[in-house]
Amino acid sequence: MALEATFRELSVTLRQLHDALDALNVTLGDEPEAGGSALADGFENIVLDLIGVLHQGRRAALNARRAVTPPMDIDRASRSLANCQDRFHQIEQEFAGSLVSYEKLRELARLGTERGEQWRLWANSVKLGIEQCQPCLHDASKALAGGWKELVEHGGKTSISIRTENLGQKIFAQPKDMVGSSST
């Protein structure tokens, strides 16, 4: 049961990450109407890409979760979890390089300072939305590690199934004239 619970937790944490990215996307879409921004459009495109990759990761996590329900298929669970892990690494790298890098956050702050009060409020909201994604990334990372740990522990157990069939024993009586005679 621990294996199923671990994979359920992974699905939950990935859903929470999706919700946080979706909320960030809504915030990005609420930019002030006056004079759009290439930076804002770039952030929005990055977040949409992250949501797309996360969708693939969530599908892989669901496949892994299904694989650990009876009848259990550890090989399928491992492959699905590896697929989920690959997608998650893509998300982490893009998030770190394109959203929370010092340069990007500095550009965001500068946009808010240069364009006035509405843009400053928007930039602060975007920064807060980005910050709210970080604990979700951390939780999903922990859940992935937990999934691998459970798979390794479960894979280390030897599973033996024994099936017996009662065939019985056939006894044949020898004729009386054969008892005690010997052939020479």
Torsion of CA 27, 91, 68, 151, to 10 degrees: -140
Domain that holds residue 29: 2-154
How far apart are the C-alpha atoms of 149 and 165, rounded to whole Å?
A: 37
All residues at 6 or more sequence positions from 119 whose CB lies less than 8 Å from its CB, including other chains:
31, 32, 37, 111, 112
Its pTM stands at: 0.81
Whether 173 is covered by a domain: the verdict is no
pLDDT of residue 180: 57
Whether 56 is covered by a domain: the verdict is yes
Whether 36 is covered by a domain: the verdict is yes
Whether 82 is covered by a domain: the verdict is yes
Report residue 53 as tokens. 């990759």
Whether 170 is covered by a domain: the verdict is no
pLDDT by position in tens, the chain (length 184): 488 999 999 999 999 999 999 999 999 999 887 778 899 999 999 999 999 999 999 999 999 999 999 888 999 999 999 999 999 999 999 999 999 999 999 999 999 999 989 999 999 999 999 999 999 999 999 999 999 999 988 875 545 444 555 555 556 666 666 555 555 4
Domain total of the chain: 1
pLDDT of residue 134: 97
pLDDT of residue 167: 57
pLDDT of residue 76: 95
pLDDT of residue 33: 79
pLDDT of residue 55: 98
Whether 167 is covered by a domain: the verdict is no
pLDDT of residue 156: 57
pLDDT of residue 182: 54
DSSP H stretches of helix in the chain:
2-29, 38-67, 74-98, 102-115, 117-155
Which among 98, 76, 52, 70 is positioned nearest to 159, based on CA atoms?
A: 70
How far apart are the C-alpha atoms of 175 and 184, rounded to whole Å?
A: 19
Q: Check which CATH number belongs to the domain holding 145 and give it.
A: 1.20.120
Whether 126 is covered by a domain: the verdict is yes
Torsion of CA 80, 82, 83, 85, to 10 degrees: 120
